[in-house]
């Protein structure tokens, strides 16, 4: 079977953004062409950190978005 996947060139992004985390929610907003990240957690050796922040990524820059009601 022939490979029909187009070639993709990957490059490391040096953009500053949200801290490392797990169990976050992420989706793509096709209207605004942005990836949206919400929440998550970081499990440390002595304590856990839970996030309720929202971030957007436009392919170049991460931007923290104010969350309503905070």
Domain ranges of the chain: 25-65
Please report the pLDDT score of residue 48 as a whole number: 93
- Residue 66 has φ and ψ, to the nearest 5°, of -60, 135
Q: What is the pLDDT of residues 24-45, one digit of tens each?
A: 999 999 999 999 999 999 998 8
Per-residue pLDDT, averaged over 9-31, amounts to 90
How far is 53 from 55, CA to CA, in rounded Å? 7
| Sheet of strand 62-65: strand arrangement | 25-29, 34-43, 48-57, 62-65
The per-residue pLDDT of the chain, averaged, comes to: 89
Model confidence at 14, pLDDT cuts 50, 70, 90, reads: confident
> Of all helices (H) and strands (E), which one includes residue 27?
strand 25-29
Residue 15 has pLDDT above 70, yes or no: yes
Task: Give alpha helix (H) positions in 9-63.
Answer: none
pTM of the model: 0.73
């Amino acid at each position: 079977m022939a490979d029909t996947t187009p070639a993709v060139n990957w490059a490391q992004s040096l953009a500053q953004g949200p801290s490392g985390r797990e169990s976050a929610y992420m989706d793509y907003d096709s209207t605004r062409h942005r990836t949206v990240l919400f929440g998550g957690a970081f499990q440390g050796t002595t304590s856990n950190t839970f996030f309720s922040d929202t971030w957007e990524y436009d392919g170049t820059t991460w931007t923290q978005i104010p969350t309503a009601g905070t």
